[in-house]
Amino acid sequence: ALTDTLKAEELFSLEATDVMYRLYHQEEVEVFTPAAVKFECHCSRANTIIALQHIDKTELLKIVEEDGDIKMHCQFCNKEYCFDALDVETIHSGFDPDASPTKQ
């Protein structure tokens, strides 16, 4: 590969645009303006409800019976959403479970 032709001193002494030109001058290369990286999660109770609506009500109630409730954990922001049997009934009846008094 072309990147294997780079020497360490080139990587440390040249600007990134110069390195890219040397490697890919025959291609059309575009360097984008740097953007700050930020932590942002878009999970929500509403999104978890949408997911639960796609699972059979009987199966959800079985999970509640075995575990006490349904816990959905976002692996990105670490937030946890809990749903009980009343929430499951509400989700599958077409009403908004956000109105549930058991909402966490």
Among 52-56, 57-61, 91-95, where is mean pLDDT lowest? Answer: 91-95
Identify whether the C-beta of residue 73 lies closer than 8 Å to the C-beta of residue 55: no
pLDDT, residue 21, reads: 85
- The verdict on 95 and 49 lying in the same domain is yes
- The verdict on 51 and 94 lying in the same domain is yes
CB atoms within 10 A of CB 20: 15
Kindly report the CATH number assigned to the domain that includes residue 19. 1.10.287.480
Identify whether the C-beta of residue 102 lies closer than 8 Å to the C-beta of residue 45: no
What tokens does 94 get? Answer: 């077409």
How many angstroms separate the CA atoms of 86 and 55, rounded? Answer: 16
Per the domain annotation, does 94 fall within a domain? yes
As beta bridge partners, residue 27 has none
pLDDT band at 100 (very low <50, low <70, confident <90, very high): low
Domain total of the chain? 2
* pLDDT-above-90 percentage for the chain: 54
- Mean pLDDT value across the chain: 88
Kindly report the CATH number assigned to the domain that includes residue 69. 3.90.1280.10
pLDDT, residue 104, reads: 52
- The verdict on 31 and 49 lying in the same domain is no
- The verdict on 30 and 50 lying in the same domain is no
Domain hosting 54: range is 45-99
Residues 6 or more apart whose Cβ sits within 8 Å of residue 17: 31
- The verdict on 30 and 49 lying in the same domain is no
